[in-house]
Amino acid sequence: MCVLVGVRGGLNIALTRSITLGAAEPELEANHRRATQVAAAMIAGTVPGRSYGEALQSGIEAYAAVGVAEEWREHYQGGAIGYNGREVSPAPLLRPNEESGVPVATGHAASWNPTVRGAKSEDTVLIRAEGPEVLTRTAEWPLESVAAGGATLELPRMLELAA
């Protein structure tokens, strides 16, 4: 797992990529797919008119839908990103903090980073009126289509290198 945070012109972006030598162990591959499903739900839930707490709630519900309901408690989940590593760090709606109600707005960037037992999915997206734009996509990385919230997102798969 490689976690990168870059800064350009004072703005932060974050991404996580996973690489295996040879085929991934089935459990790790399944957990990566679960984390990617949760990330897709969080990204799809981060839209103008909703709060960051509601976007996080979309992810918490997705954790349950993929069979790991309590996994969200094991790792910080992310939020809005910008001139700081996280501009808004919402707490779950069951225990909201002062940032849970911050509204999502067009032009914001968000970076959610759900984990599932050794696997993680993270990209930075720009919130646009027509839908999220993934800012951390690279041309050579393998992607998979992930449906969430009425949208289909192309998110990174694990990169398998020859052993």
Domain ranges of the chain: 2-161
Is a pLDDT exceeding 90 seen at residue 29? yes
Torsion, Cα of 17, 22, 27, 31 (10° steps): 10
Q: Superfamily for 2-161?
A: Creatinase/methionine aminopeptidase superfamily (3.90.230.10)
Kindly report, residue by residue over 78-102, the tens digit of the pLDDT. 999 999 999 999 999 989 999 999 9
Kindly report, residue by residue over 10-22, the tens digit of the pLDDT. 999 999 999 999 9
